[in-house]
């Protein structure tokens, strides 16, 4: 009975970071493509996902991540590599939901059981009125060797969109 309770506590501890891992909603899987064939286990793949910015209406980001196959990948035990590409675009009128900080997490996802996570952070280039998104993965010991950046200029969305907000007006002071 005591071992069962300990096992449940361990499971809760391991799943807690996953529940806290997202600044945005769960990303939408767009498609996967096999890259390395494995005879008796799942293939290595590239997977492309889409996620909406939870604090800025009218902006979506797509990222592509490698997914390890094999039995360790299938079981979720493989450490995923850090090669992640990112593209963010305006998909409608841009409206800020509130104040934001520079380099604020827009999305986070674990890339290994314990030590690695991928993060998409958002910032504002107030001089150019451009939102800047950066994706990187960090590892507890080695830091973040890989990264990618995408920008979204804040522009009118069609003739009816006459109010173009300035991202600098929504960056919290003291940054």
Write out pLDDT tens, residues 60-117.
Answer: 999 998 887 766 655 565 656 668 899 999 999 999 999 999 999 999 987 665 567 8
Handedness of CA 61, 64, 65, 68 (dihedral sign): positive
Q: What is the pTM of this model?
A: 0.76
**Once rounded to an integer, what is the mean pLDDT over residues 1-11?**
47
Give the pLDDT of residue 75. 59
Residue 112: predicted pLDDT: 62
Distance CA 66, CA 36 (A): 11
C-alpha–C-alpha distance, residues 11 and 110, integer Å: 16
* Residues listed for the chain: 175
| Neighbour-count burial of 107, counting CB atoms closer than 10 A to its CB (0-12 exposed, 13-18 middle, 19+ buried) | buried
DSSP states along 69-87: -HHHHHTT-SPPP---EEE
């Amino acid at each position: 009975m005591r071992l069962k309770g300990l096992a449940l506590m361990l499971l809760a501890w391991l799943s807690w970071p996953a529940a806290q891992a997202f600044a945005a909603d769960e990303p939408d899987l767009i498609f996967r493509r096999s890259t390395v064939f494995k005879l008796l286990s799942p293939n290595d793949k590239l997977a492309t996902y889409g996620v909406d910015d939870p604090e800025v209406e009218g902006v979506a980001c797509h990222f592509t991540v490698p997914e390890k196959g094999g039995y360790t990948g299938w079981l979720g035990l493989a450490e995923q590599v850090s090669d992640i590409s990112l593209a963010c675009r305006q998909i409608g009128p841009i409206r800020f939901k509130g104040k934001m900080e520079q380099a604020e997490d827009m999305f986070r996802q674990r890339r290994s059981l314990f030590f690695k996570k991928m993060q998409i952070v958002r910032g504002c280039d107030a001089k150019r009125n451009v939102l800047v998104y950066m994706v990187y993965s960090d590892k507890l010991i080695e830091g973040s060797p890989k990264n990618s950046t995408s920008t979204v200029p804040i522009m009118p969305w069609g003739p009816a969109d006459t109010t173009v907000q300035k991202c600098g007006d929504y960056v919290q002071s003291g940054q």
